[in-house]
A and B are shown apart, each in its own frame.
Chain A
Amino acid sequence: MQQFLNTALSGLTLGMVYAAFALALVLIWRSTRIVNFAQAPMAMLTTFVALVVIDAGHSYWLGFVAALVSGLVLGAVLERVVIRPVEGKAEINAVILTLGLFIVLHGLAAVVFGNRYRSFPAPFGLEGLTVGSTTIALNGFGIFTIVSVLVVMGLLVALFRFTDVGLRMRASAFNSEVARLLGVKVGAMLTLGWALASLVGSLAGLLIAGGSLVHPSYMDSVVVFGFVAAVLGGLDSPLGAVVGGLILGLSLSFVSGYVGSQLVALAALVILMLVLTLKPGGLFAQAAERRV
Chain B
Amino acid sequence: MRDRITAVRRNVLARHLFLALVGLLVVVVVVESISDYRNTQLASMAYLGIAAGGLTVLTGTNGQLSLGHGALMAIGAYTSALLLPDSDSSLPLSLVILAAVAVTLVVGAAVGLAAARLHGPYLAGATLALAVAVPGIALYFKETLGGEQGLRVVMPDIPVWVLDLAFFVTGQDLSRSRYTAYVGWLTLIVVFVLLANLSAGRTGRRWRAVRDDEVSAELAGIDLGRARVSAFMVSAAAAGAAGAILAFTVKLAAPSAFTLTLSLTLLAAIVLGGLGSLAGALIGAALLTFLPSVVTDVGRSAGLSDIQAAELAPLVYGLVMVAVILLAPAGIVGSLRGAVQRSATTRRTTSPTTTKGTAS
Interface residues of A (CB under 8 A from B): 29, 34-35, 37, 82, 85-86, 89-97, 99-108, 110-112, 114-115, 217, 220-221, 223-224, 227-228, 231, 260, 262-266, 268-269, 272-273, 276-277, 280, 291-292
With A217-B261, A263-B136 known as contacts, the answer to whether A103 contacts B325 (CB < 8 A) is no
Q: Which residues of A contact B304 (CB under 8 A)?
A: 111
Bound form: Cα–Cα A37–B65 in Å = 14
Bound form: Cα–Cα A97–B327 in Å = 12
Q: Which residues of A contact B67 (CB under 8 A)?
A: 99
Given contacts A104-B319, A276-B122, 9 further A-B contacts (CB under 8 A): A91-B121, A92-B65, A96-B321, A96-B325, A100-B322, A103-B268, A103-B321, A114-B307, A217-B259
Bound form: Cα–Cα A277–B113 in Å = 11
Closest chain-A Cβ to B212's Cβ sits at a distance in Å of 12
A-B residue pairs in contact (CB < 8 Å), sample of 25? A37-B125, A86-B325, A86-B326, A92-B59, A92-B65, A92-B331, A92-B332, A97-B326, A99-B124, A100-B271, A106-B261, A107-B316, A108-B315, A115-B311, A220-B259, A224-B125, A228-B125, A231-B122, A263-B136, A268-B132, A272-B125, A273-B126, A276-B122, A291-B119, A292-B117
Choose among A35, A37, A217, A292 the residue that contacts B118 (Cβ–Cβ < 8 A).
Answer: A292
Q: Which residue of A lies closest to B309 (CB)?
A: A111
Q: Which residues of B contact A29 (CB under 8 A)?
A: 121
Bound form: Cα–Cα A102–B260 in Å = 11
Chain B 306-334, CB within 8 Å of chain A: the 1/0 string? 01100111111111011001100001111
Q: Which residues of A contact B128 (CB under 8 A)?
A: 37, 223-224, 227
With A106-B314, A227-B125 known as contacts, the answer to whether A260 contacts B271 (CB < 8 A) is no
Q: Which residues of A contact B326 (CB under 8 A)?
A: 82, 85-86, 97
Q: Which residues of B contact A280 (CB under 8 A)?
A: 117
Most buried by B among A92, A223, A262, A276: A92
Please determine whether A262 and B137 come into contact, CB atoms closer than 8 angstroms: yes
Please determine whether A265 and B125 come into contact, CB atoms closer than 8 angstroms: no
Q: Which residues of A contact B311 (CB under 8 A)?
A: 107, 110-111, 115
Please determine whether A111 and B308 come into contact, CB atoms closer than 8 angstroms: yes
Closest chain-B Cβ to A114's Cβ sits at a distance in Å of 6
Q: Which residue of B lies closest to A116 (CB)?
A: B307
Q: How many contacting A-B pairs (Cβ < 8 A)?
A: 165
B162 at interface by CB-CB < 8 Å:
no
Chain B 262-277, CB within 8 Å of chain A: the 1/0 string? 0011011001000000
Please determine whether B118 and A104 come into contact, CB atoms closer than 8 angstroms: no
Closest chain-B Cβ to A261's Cβ sits at a distance in Å of 8
Bound form: Cα–Cα A273–B126 in Å = 7
B106 at interface by CB-CB < 8 Å:
no
Bound form: Cα–Cα A102–B121 in Å = 15
Choose among B126, B267, B271, B308 the residue that contacts A276 (Cβ–Cβ < 8 A).
Answer: B126
Interface residues of B (CB under 8 A from A): 59, 63, 65, 67, 114, 117-122, 124-126, 128-130, 132-134, 136-137, 139-140, 259-261, 264-265, 267-268, 271, 299, 304, 307-308, 311-319, 321-322, 325-326, 331-334
With A91-B121, A92-B63, A292-B122 known as contacts, the answer to whether A100 contacts B137 (CB < 8 A) is no
Most buried by B among A99, A106, A280: A99
Bound form: Cα–Cα A265–B132 in Å = 6
Q: Which residues of A contact B325 (CB under 8 A)?
A: 86, 93, 96-97, 100
With A107-B315, A262-B140 known as contacts, the answer to whether A269 contacts B133 (CB < 8 A) is yes
Bound form: Cα–Cα A192–B118 in Å = 30
Q: Which residue of A lies closest to B110 (CB)?
A: A273
Q: Which residues of B contact A265 (CB under 8 A)?
A: 129, 132-133, 136
Bound form: Cα–Cα A29–B122 in Å = 12
Choose among A231, A260, A277 the residue that contacts B114 (Cβ–Cβ < 8 A).
Answer: A277
Bound form: Cα–Cα A244–B122 in Å = 16
Bound form: Cα–Cα A85–B271 in Å = 18
Please determine whether A91 and B126 come into contact, CB atoms closer than 8 angstroms: no
With A85-B326, A224-B132 known as contacts, the answer to whether A104 contacts B318 (CB < 8 A) is yes
